[in-house]
Amino acid sequence: MQNRIRNFSIIAHIDHGKSTLADRLIQECGAVSDRELGTQMMDTMDIEKERGITIKAQSVRLTYVKDGVPYVLNLIDTPGHVDFSYEVSRSLASCEGALLVVDASQGVEAQTIANVYIALENDLEIIPVINKIDLPAADPERVKEEIEHTIGLDCSRALGVSAKSGIGVKELLDMLVDVVPAPTGNADGPTKALIYDSWFDNYLGALALVRVYDGKIAKGQEVYIMGSGKKHEVLSLMYPHPLKQEKTATLEAGEVGIVVLGLKNISDVRVGDTITDNRNKAKKPVDGFEEAKPFVFAGLYPIETDKFEDLRDALDKLKMNDGSISYEPETSAALGFGFRVGFLGMLHMEVIKERLEREFDLDLIATAPTVTYRVIKTNGEIKEIQNPSQLPAPNEIDRIEEPYVRATIITPSEFLGNIISLVNGKRGIQEKMDYMNPQRVLLEYAIPMNEIVMDFYDKLKSATKGYASFDYDLSGYRVGDLVKLDVRVAGEVVDALSIIVSNDKAMTKGREFVKAMKEIVPRQLFEVAIQASIGNKVIARETVKSMGKNVTAKCYGGDISRKRKLLEKQKEGKKRMKSIGKVQLPQEAFLTVLKID
C-alpha cells in the first residue's frame, strides 16, 4: 500500500501563493465542493486570516487518480513565518517531498532559502514550482536562474503554474506522483509515529497529528508516548481534512492521521514526540526530539490588578492550544502581579497578546521584549536571565553573553547602502554578500538577537520600501559589552522599563528614551522628572511640565455637553493608565523603547 502514498509539503516565502495552491490542489482532487471553497481552506484561525499567514500547520488527505490508479496524497501544511521554523522542521520531517513555490514576478526571497535548507536537511525531493505565471510581470526564466544560482537546485523540471487560474496544476499533481518517493517504512515492525502537530479540541481533548513511519496505529490499541513516558488508549483515529474529518480504524505505515487519546492536556502530546506500541516498543524514537524553545520574553500584566487570576486562566487555556508558550508568575514594583511569558519570536508574541485581549477580554500591558542573557558571575555561577531587572549588580558580573542570529536578507541592489548602515547600527557583522543577479543581492549577517527583537523588521522594511525579505535563525552566544539602562519617573526606577543595551550605545539610547517618554507621559498636576540612569549615574533627563490649569477650563462656559464629553474621555483614558507612584503612565510608555533607535 505504501507505494500509493505521497506525503508532501508546500514551502514558500510569504505571499508567494502557498495557501492558494493548497486550495487549488484540494479542489482539483475533489475533496471540497466549489461552494465550500469560498474562503481559503488552509488558514483557519482569525488572526491568521487577517494577517495572511499560516501559524498552525494544517493537513489534508487527498485522493488523486493518475492513469486510472488512485493515489493518497497527504498535503502537510507548514507555518508560514520565521518565528515558527521549529514547527516547519517537524512538518517537513513527515514528508518525502516538497513543492517549492516561488512567485514568478518576485523571485527567491529570504524564507524561500530558509525553507529549502530545512527541506534539504530532511532529505526531501524538491520540485520547483514557479507560481503566478499569469501575471504580466512574471519572468519565470529569471526566477529559475535565481533558484539555480542561490540554492543550487536543478530547475530543468521546474513547472510554471498559476494557482489562481489553475494553469499547470494537473501537470503538477502528475509530477508529484512520479517524482516524490513513496514512504518505505517497515509495515510489520513495532509502531513508530511522529507527532508533528497537536492542538486542543473542546469535544475530543488534545489531538495529535501524526505521521506513521513503521507498523500501524489501531483503534483500541494501547500506545506509549516515548518522550512523556506515558501510556494511553487510542479512542479513535481520523484522516485530516479542514472541513470533514473521516474516521478510520487504523493508520498504516506511511499514512498521516489524527490520533484521539482523550487527553485533557496538550503537553501530553508534544510536537516532536514519538508514539509507539506499549507492548512492542520501538527501539528508538524518531530522530531529533527537542522541545520548541521560546527565545523572546516579555512581561504581561493586567491593567486592572484584580485580573491576575483571569490572566492565569487565559494563559492556561492558550497553552493547551499552543504548547510553545511558557509562562511564570513575576512581580514588578511598577506593574504588580503578572507573568513573564516566553515566545518563539516577535510575531508569536503579538499573536498571543492579541488573542489574550480578544478571546479573553483582557486589557494588558506588555513590557519590551527581551532575549535570554547568560550572566557569568565573578563567583563562577552562571545565571540565565529573561528580565533585565534580574541582572545582578555590576560588581558581581564577570561577563554577559548574548544570543546571536544568522540573518539572511535579500534586497534589490538599490537599497544596499541603506541596509548596510541599518545593520551596522545594530552591531551586525557581515558574513556574505552575493549578487544573485545585477538587480538583487543576498546578504548574510551575524546580529545580536536583542537588536532584532526590538523592531528590526519594520526598520528594514522602511529602509527598503518594503522590498527586502528577511529570515533568521539562532547561531549561539557571544560575549557582549552590555549594561542595564534604567528609567526613573519622578525619581523612582520603574523596573518594567529597564532594558539591557550595548555599552557604547547606552548614552544615546538613554537620551532618546527620556525624550520619547516625555512625549508620552501626560502632564500631571506637578512637574515630573524623567531620567535615564546606569547604576546610580543619571545620564539623561527631561521634564514633563505641570498641567497648571484644569483641562475643562478650555471649554468656554456655555457648552456643557462638550465639557461632559471631555471628562468622560478623560475617565476612559484613565482606565488604560497605570499608576506609578503618584504618576499616571499610559500603556504605550512601556513600549517606548521600541520607538527609539
Binding residues (CB under 5 A) for Mg ion: these are 19, 54
Residue 20 interface partner, choices ligand GDP, Mg ion, none, CB cut-off 5-8 Å depending on type: ligand GDP
Closest to Mg ion by CB, 78 or 122: 78
Least Å from the CB of residue 351 to ligand GDP: 16
Among 371, 367, 360, smallest CA distance to 335 is for 367
Closest to Mg ion by CB, 17 or 257: 17
Residue 90 interface partner, choices Mg ion, ligand GDP, none, CB cut-off 5-8 Å depending on type: none
Coil/strand/helix, residue 368: coil
The binding site for GTP consists of 15-20, 131-134
Residue 16 interface partner, choices Mg ion, ligand GDP, none, CB cut-off 5-8 Å depending on type: ligand GDP
Question: Using CA atoms, how far apart are residues 567 and 583, in angstroms rounded to an integer?
Answer: 19
Query: Grid coordinates standing for 90?
Result: 517537524
| ∠ Cα 387 453 81 (to 5°) | 125
Least Å from the CB of residue 15 to Mg ion: 8
Closest to ligand GDP by CB, 15 or 36: 15
Q: Side chain identity at 529, as an amino acid letter?
A: A
Helix, strand and coil content of the chain, in percent to the nearest 5, comes to 30, 35, 35
Residue 135 interface partner, choices ligand GDP, Mg ion, none, CB cut-off 5-8 Å depending on type: ligand GDP
Coil/strand/helix, residue 448: strand
Question: Using CA atoms, how far apart are residues 398 and 170, in angstroms rounded to an integer?
Answer: 63
Please identify the residue of the shown chain whose CB is closest to the bound Mg ion: 19
Closest to ligand GDP by CB, 347 or 500: 347
Q: How far is CA 535 from the centre of its chain?
A: 35
Residue 120, H or E segment: helix 110-121
| Greatest extent of the chain over all pairs of C-alpha atoms, in Å | 89
Residue 15 interface partner, choices ligand GDP, Mg ion, none, CB cut-off 5-8 Å depending on type: ligand GDP
Residue 533 interface partner, choices Mg ion, ligand GDP, none, CB cut-off 5-8 Å depending on type: none
Question: Using CA atoms, how far apart are residues 7 and 184, in angstroms rounded to an integer?
Answer: 11
Coil/strand/helix, residue 199: strand
Least Å from the CB of residue 132 to ligand GDP: 4
Judge contact between 59 and 240, C-beta under 8 A. yes
The binding site consists of 15-20, 131-134
Please report where in the chains the cell 519570536 appears, as a residue. 345
Total residue length of the chain = 597
Closest to ligand GDP by CB, 47 or 187: 47
Q: Would strands 97-103 and 192-201 be described as parallel, antiparallel, or unpaired?
A: unpaired
Least Å from the CB of residue 566 to Mg ion: 45
Least Å from the CB of residue 121 to Mg ion: 23
Binding site for ligand GDP (CB under 6 A): 12, 14-20, 52, 80, 131-132, 134-135, 162-164
Coil/strand/helix, residue 413: helix
Least Å from the CB of residue 94 to ligand GDP: 19
Closest to ligand GDP by CB, 161 or 405: 161
Judge contact between 502 and 480, C-beta under 8 A. yes
| ∠ Cα 586 588 594 (to 5°) | 155
Residue 175 interface partner, choices Mg ion, ligand GDP, none, CB cut-off 5-8 Å depending on type: none
Coil/strand/helix, residue 60: strand
Residue 506, H or E segment: helix 503-520
Least Å from the CB of residue 303 to ligand GDP: 34
Least Å from the CB of residue 22 to Mg ion: 8
396: left (phi over 0), alpha (psi -120 to 50) or beta: alpha
Q: State the DSSP code for 370.
A: B
Closest to Mg ion by CB, 18 or 216: 18
Least Å from the CB of residue 45 to Mg ion: 12
Among 216, 271, 221, 218, smallest CA distance to 248 is for 218
Residue 134 interface partner, choices Mg ion, ligand GDP, none, CB cut-off 5-8 Å depending on type: ligand GDP
Residue 74 interface partner, choices Mg ion, ligand GDP, none, CB cut-off 5-8 Å depending on type: none
| First and final C-alpha spacing in the chain | 59
Spell out a b/e string for 70-100, using b for 16 or more CB atoms within 10 Å of the CB, else e. ebbbbbbbbbbbbbbbbbbbbbbbbbbbbbb
Closest to Mg ion by CB, 54 or 498: 54
Least Å from the CB of residue 54 to ligand GDP: 6
Closest to ligand GDP by CB, 140 or 448: 140
Closest to Mg ion by CB, 54 or 89: 54
Paired residues of 408 in beta bridges: 444, 471
Residue 12 interface partner, choices ligand GDP, Mg ion, none, CB cut-off 5-8 Å depending on type: ligand GDP
CA distances, 135 to each of 43, 172, 204, 314 (Å): 24, 19, 44, 45
